[in-house]
Amino acid sequence: MLRWNGCGVCDVMAVGTEVRRVPSLDIVPPDTNCVDAVSNEHNRTGHRAPQASGPGLGNPDSTKSPAFCIRHRPPQWIGAPYALRFRTQLGSAGQTMTPTASLHHRLVCLAGAMARSVAGQGDRSPAVVLAAVSGGADSTFLLRMLHQALQDTACTVHVCHVDHGYRQDSAADAASVKSLAARLNLPFHGLELPDADRTPVRNRQARWREGRYRLLAETARRLAAPGQTAVIATGHHAGDQVETLLMNLIRGTHLSGLRGMEEWSTLAAPCRPIRQADVEVLLWRPLLAWTPDDIRSCLKAWNERWEEDRSNLDESHLRNRVRHRLVPQLAALRTDTVGFLANQMELWRPDIQALEQIHADNLAQSELSLPQPDVPRANQSVIIRLSALRDAPPWQQRGMLAQAATRLHRNRQISAARLNELCRQLKTADRSCGPRPWFGDLCWSVWHRPPARVFDLPVVKDLISLHKRGTMPFPVNAPRLPPGWRHAPIPLAGTELRLPGWTLSAIRYERPPSVSKMRADPYPWHVYLDLASLEAHGNSIRLEPAMPQLRLQPVGMHAGQKQIRHILRDDRIHVSLRADWPVVYTEGGDPVWVCGLRQAAAYAVREPGRPVLRLRWCPCP
């Protein structure tokens, strides 16, 4: 906050979550002995604010005398400038703050805040800051401020422009950004969006955004050394915050859609590069407290040109309709609509984060971990005890489901209507079902009374899985045949067959243990077979996926036969696991053993002392 007192003194204050010791600043006439406004911490760390030169806006190219100068006052404890808020008051001496002076001080404080924010990352302090510059006003202003704020720090500023190739004059934007980078003596990187990301889709802007951030992350990782941190800086401002808020409200957002963007964050999973490296990439938005009008005012005072993207006038996109129709109507009701709503989002954020932490804790208590060594679980599925979800009040149900969806899709906002609809369907889900589509590429599945003995699970009644399309809803630790598996012969003389995560061993026993001892072993993934009965059908057996229509008479069934699909259903194997379930057949195709579940009575050991073949599945790394 810029506040005049009766002596012509302006106190620079900032609202944030951290308290730092920084000096107050005096506004004095130009003929007074002036020094730069540099805080004690700046002197200690080597970071300093930009020079207070030029006609009140820090323009290094101007030859006019400054409208004012800045000098130190004794340091005071004030808030750290993470979210800067400024206003002016009339002093008792009748002095007023001119717009030029106000913007100048905001630039000084923004430059200092940038330097402190980068240095305040501690062990994660970046070595490379990659400025994403499109050539528009916001990114041009961002680059100018980064150049001034970080020129005396250990960070190296690089300029990156991504050409989407959807406009014929897009090459002019790249040339303009390259010229600006050369004028500031900064390295420039020109990138083009791959053809795969240019494919016309329903939401092409989301596809472009994911492809753009993926290219930026790959470039940032390439510039930083292993073990270092790289930062992608973007020009998102208060206007973008307000537009995102209004768009989320129009779509019917959950509570998480009200907090907006944060200054520091990590990249969402779809935007990360395919090849991970030993370089952490952070996303930095240092201009969230600045309105578009203030940004353009500074650029005009600097005589800095920028490019206008004509696609921003295309009202077929919701964001452009909100920007050109809704925001002006709100501004007619309240002139400072953008700044006011952006400030409200700053006030809401800690309350929303505290509530989200409660939901995250509830989700952690209700979540069930199903480790599967050969299946990557990260960002693929979230499995919850359905009883814990049903017993919670509705607001907690929505919060837990929203937390699970956020874990799977960090860059997608989920609507309250979708959450309510899923809660309603889960109330009546009394049998196994799924996968069923939810929204985007997310699906949900319910597993009714999973067989705990077969999968070594805790005894639970029902499970629900939120998962991505095409992935396993319940990646249980059980043998599964790889995709495209045909068959594998298993010689009756004995062998060992390796699959991902599991090994099937076949051992021939001429002198087997007693029948009672063979039946006493509770491990479900082994079986003893009568060797003479198998040799009557050939010298080997085969391992193949389950053939649902084939029949066998299980041990314990006195009459009739049962189809394999009914065995899988009656033993409560989820439908997503049935297609790849391993089954042992004779050479003639007669089912011998539905692995882990049922053994054919025709090949069971009946008489003691006869040779047997033992089949046993064992987990392997």
Question: Is a pLDDT exceeding 90 seen at residue 421?
Answer: yes
Question: Is a pLDDT exceeding 90 seen at residue 159?
Answer: yes
Tell me the residue type at 167.
R
Question: Is a pLDDT exceeding 50 seen at residue 225?
Answer: yes
Most confident of 285-289, 491-495, 535-539: 285-289
Please tell me the least confidently modeled range out of 50-54, 118-122, 553-557, 612-616. 50-54
Helix (H, G, I), strand (E, B) or coil at 278: coil
Domain ranges of the chain: 1-120, 121-347, 367-468, 488-619
Give the ranges where 367-415 is alpha helix by DSSP (H).
386-391, 394-408
Confidence tier at 84 by pLDDT (50, 70, 90)? very low
Most confident of 62-66, 201-205, 513-517: 513-517
CA distance 330 to 54: 36
CA distance 194 to 212: 9
User: Is 211 within 8 Å of 193 (Cβ atoms)?
Assistant: yes
Helix (H, G, I), strand (E, B) or coil at 306: coil
Domain 121-347: homologous superfamily in CATH: HUPs (3.40.50.620)
Interval 318-344 mean pLDDT: 92
Measure CA 498 to chain center: 35
Most confident of 112-126, 358-372, 591-605: 591-605
In angstroms, the Cα distances linking 543 to 239, 441, 507, 540, 619 are 62, 33, 15, 10, 17
Q: Which residue has the higher pLDDT, 35 or 471?
A: 471
The phi, psi pair for 268, rounded to 5°, reads: -70, 155
Of the candidates 98, 155, 101, 123, the one whose C-alpha atom is nearest the C-alpha of residue 286 is: 155
User: Is 427 within 8 Å of 386 (Cβ atoms)?
Assistant: no
Q: Which residue has the higher pLDDT, 332 or 266?
A: 332
Q: Which residue has the higher pLDDT, 434 or 270?
A: 434
Structure tokens, 432: 């196994």
Whole-prediction pTM value?
Answer: 0.73
User: Is 320 within 8 Å of 205 (Cβ atoms)?
Assistant: no
In angstroms, the Cα distances linking 89 to 4, 6, 85 are 6, 11, 14
pLDDT at position 370 is: 61
Structure tokens, 478: 């059980």
Q: What is the mean pLDDT of the chain?
A: 78
In angstroms, the Cα distances linking 6 to 3, 56, 93, 95 are 10, 22, 5, 8
